[in-house]
Structure 1
Amino acid sequence: MELSDLRSFVDVAERLNIRRAAMAAGVRPSTLSRRIARIEGELGVSVFERHASGVRLTRAGRDFFDTASNAIRDLEFGLRRARAASKGASGNLQIGIFASIASGFSYAAIRLFRSQYPGVEIDVTEGEPNVLLRGIRERKLDVAFVTGDCDLRDLDCETLWWEAVALALAKDHPAAHAERLQWSELRDERFIVSLQEPGPEIHDWLVARLGGLGERTRIVRYAVARETLFVLVGLGFGLSVVSRAGVGVAYPNVVFRPVGDPDDILPFSVAWSPDRDNPVLRRFLSVMRAMASGQPPPPVD
């Protein structure tokens, strides 16, 4: 049974007049009559009774009308969803994160994308960078936010934003009331980092900044997650650093202060697979690139 036949049947059933249904559909009445005849031939029953002013549904016609109208509605809904998915206006986006998205560029990007594409279902997975990158390779994730200027042979990677660094210290630390701190003022301090990602990267970053301040500066590593590390900061175990996006998260007895020069910034990148054929991913990357360049986001089709 042709879809055009079903549409014609529903049009006539809704108007109970072949001529008016033909005018609304832009076809000749004889065309609708032939389509109705084909349906009755396939069903083996009459769906309409003819009379002088039009037609009326038979009992079999009323039953078939419910089935046909529901089928057409479901089909049209499916077509709309498929077209929206092909344009990136609906579908799923799997994002991997390991740093805080409580504020900053990544928070703003996800917020803007959700406002522009409310039909997209976004899933967020948190993990260490190597786990997130493996998730992209295994097609479990579409995109991941990572620190640094990444150079990956099998994945596409693009540095899109930079964030200033903040110093995390206990509220009762003598330097907690300073508006901004310099690295030279921290030569006698004890820094703590995590052994988990991105702890090793932060350790190397701190060594580069503190290396010239003398041997009294210590960096101690703990086998704890990020949240526990900042709890230890609040307990007075030492100082640590976080990107400005992480300042949006509150920890017991911890304050954050700007540190270093304005050039003390961390690059952040997005990584994805060039083989990932997901229109939603392309839309998301376009929104992030527009934000990074200071341009208006691309229009929604």
Structure 2
Amino acid sequence: MELRQLRYFVEVAEREHVSEAAVALHVAQSAISRQIANLEAELGVELFEREGRNVRLTHIGKIFLTHTKTALKAIDHAKKQIDEYIDPERGSIKIGFPTSLASNFLPSVVSAFKKLHPKIGFQLRQGSYNFLIESVENRELDVAFLGPVFTEHPDIIGDVLFEENFYALVPRSHPLADAKSVDFKELYNEDFVLFPEGFILHQLVIDGCENAGFTPRVTSEGEDLDAIKGLVAAGIGITLLPESAFNDLNSDYSVKVAIKNPELTRTVGLIIPKHRRLAPSEQVFYDFVKYYFANKSR
């Protein structure tokens, strides 16, 4: 069994088309077909069912694909570690982040790190809360920023970097626009603009409102921060967002108001895999981030 056979197999399995896989891999279609046939002969099973020009994984092919992808990720990670032990300053890090940390938090961290380690590269991926967790678990991401961050998980280490408050975002024409703060319970009769159900910021706001004694009336939803801020600016309703989401606020259209009695907060942190050793460049970044925020808090 050869490594190239496994890579050919994965490409064909994901595309379900041999000729498309050949184009993506820049090899002849006949070469891929031959290597797949050799792999099937060695395993003694058929991995694909042929359907005209297309192919479909057999049941055993699906099982083999799952294990093959895991094995290839482990091999790629091992090669990356070897390359980086030779020169740790030329590594590349796959970092995940949520939309709420995209506008200011992530640029400030990455730019500060790049000043010290200019040759280390980044592959950045924005994603939902559950996507980021799963991607660190299955090696799609090396590290990820998360808010809130958990500290107990069977497969992931979570480090809290800081805690931040939520604020109410209200239209400039709203009666609360000139207030320095508002009691949480006073928001019970407002129309809310939130992320859709399933988004972590949706659940945090729902939980916060219920802890304050009411269920929010959600009249509109947006799937990104710009959409939500735009709906608030248009006077559709109010929303609650963590402090790090307010860096690009246009005060001509909407206003940030502190919430008290009770405050609503979340932790922000970094997650890494628990059972896989970080590559040198990843370890350098991980240590930098913890040092960066430890000193910033002082």
TM-score, scaled to structure 1? 0.61
* Preserved contact between residue 183 and residue 209 of structure 1 (Cα < 8 Å): no
Match of 2:92 in 1: 92
Report the number of matched residues: 211
Match of 2:231 in 1: 232
Match of 1:183 in 2: 184
* Preserved contact between residue 142 and residue 276 of structure 1 (Cα < 8 Å): no
Mean Cα deviation higher: 269-278 or 254-263? 254-263
User: In terms of Rg, which structure is larger?
Assistant: 1
Within 2, Cα distance between the matches of 1:135 and 1:267?
20
Superposition RMSD in Å: 2.9
Matched, 1:136 2:124: no
- In structure 2, the CA distance between the partners of 1:204 and 1:185, relative to structure 1 (3 Å rule), is closer
After superposition, give the CA deviation of every residue in 1:226-270 in whole Å (9 maximum; x if it has no partner): 332222212222111111111113468333232226954311121
Within 2, Cα distance between the matches of 1:88 and 1:264?
41
Q: Where does structure 1 differ by over 6 angstroms across 4 or more consecutive aligned residues?
A: none
Match of 1:268 in 2: 268
* Preserved contact between residue 91 and residue 119 of structure 2 (Cα < 8 Å): yes
Match of 1:120 in 2: 120
Within 2, Cα distance between the matches of 1:221 and 1:152?
34
- In structure 2, the CA distance between the partners of 1:184 and 1:208, relative to structure 1 (3 Å rule), is closer
Q: 1:175 is paired with a residue of what secondary structure?
A: helix
Q: 1:163 is paired with a residue of what secondary structure?
A: strand
Return 5+ residue gaps in structure 2 as ranges.
Answer: 1-81
Within 2, Cα distance between the matches of 1:87 and 1:159?
30
Q: 1:192 is paired with a residue of what secondary structure?
A: strand
Matched, 1:174 2:175: yes
- In structure 2, the CA distance between the partners of 1:261 and 1:108, relative to structure 1 (3 Å rule), is farther
Match of 1:194 in 2: 195
Within 1, Cα distance between the matches of 2:192 and 2:268?
23
Within 2, Cα distance between the matches of 1:108 and 1:261?
32
* Preserved contact between residue 88 and residue 281 of structure 1 (Cα < 8 Å): no
Q: 2:133 is paired with a residue of what secondary structure?
A: helix
Within 2, Cα distance between the matches of 1:223 and 1:177?
25
TM-score, scaled to structure 2? 0.61
Within 1, Cα distance between the matches of 2:192 and 2:166?
14
Return 5+ residue gaps in structure 1 as ranges.
Answer: 1-81, 297-301
After superposition, give the CA deviation of every residue in 1:161-209 in whole Å (9 maximum; x if it has no partner): 1112221111221211223333243233222211152233223332244
CA apart distance, 1:123: 1.9
Match of 1:16 in 2: none
